[in-house]
Amino acid sequence: MARVAIVTGGTRGIGEAISLALQDHGMTVAATYAGNDDRARDFTERTGIAAFKWDVADYDACQDGCARVAAELGPVDVLVNNAGITRDGTIMKLSYQAWKEVIDTNLGGCFNMAKGVFPGMRDRKWGRIVNIGSINGQAGQYGQVNYAAAKSGIHGFTKALAQEGARAGVTVNAIAPGYIDTDMVAAVPSDVLEKIVAKIPVGRLGQASEIARGVAFLCSDEGGFVTGSTLSINGGQHMY
């Protein structure tokens, strides 16, 4: 029987690439989204992957959503916490609301979703959780104290939860992407984008498929000895 995977924010950008990669590896995928019904509908029509709508910042919605996926598709074996938002601004201009929304979605969403699937994974003695961090959670970024704090928190969350899951066959890892050629990055002014690319040693933006391949490995049986780890996929832009 095919393993069941949930990919949050899985209908666009990096999330879509992850959903497709896991599907290509024989998994039954549920992609979650929070807002754009038309885009989600198009995604499902193109890929055959079911889309489920809920806000990962809403704890109760996550519990209900995970239960719904399990009822419709089967017990959840794999969780990819990819959903994230930005509300950029220096701390002098950043509102509390903008701080809270990013923390609640990007970091709180990891907790909310893990609570929905981790007990079942532990009971069945097999599970894979991959949390999508960021180069900006590792190195910091001007004007992103909320985003950097949330993504940095993901790396600590990953290491701690990995210790809870290890003996039960549940691995927990993170991937920290660098600058990836997605709609979000495409919206950056061209002169700014040129400066970003100039700082990447390999001389280009990453592709969403490159992140997805890393996720697929960590979610596989072959990745079973990797846990509590952060895989940096950033073209050499940040090394430590």
Active site residues: 147
For residue 113, give the H/E element and its range: helix 108-124
- Residue 225 and residue 171: Cα distance in Å, rounded? 8
* Exposed / middle / buried, residue 167 (Cβ in 10 Å: 0-12, 13-18, 19+): exposed
As given in the structure block, the two tokens for residue 233 are: 């996929």
Token match 């180069």: residue?
135
For residue 11, what are its two tokens?
């209908």
- In our burial notation (b when 16+ CB lie closer than 10 A, e otherwise), range 36-70 reads eeeebeebeeebebbbbebbbbbbebbbebbeebb
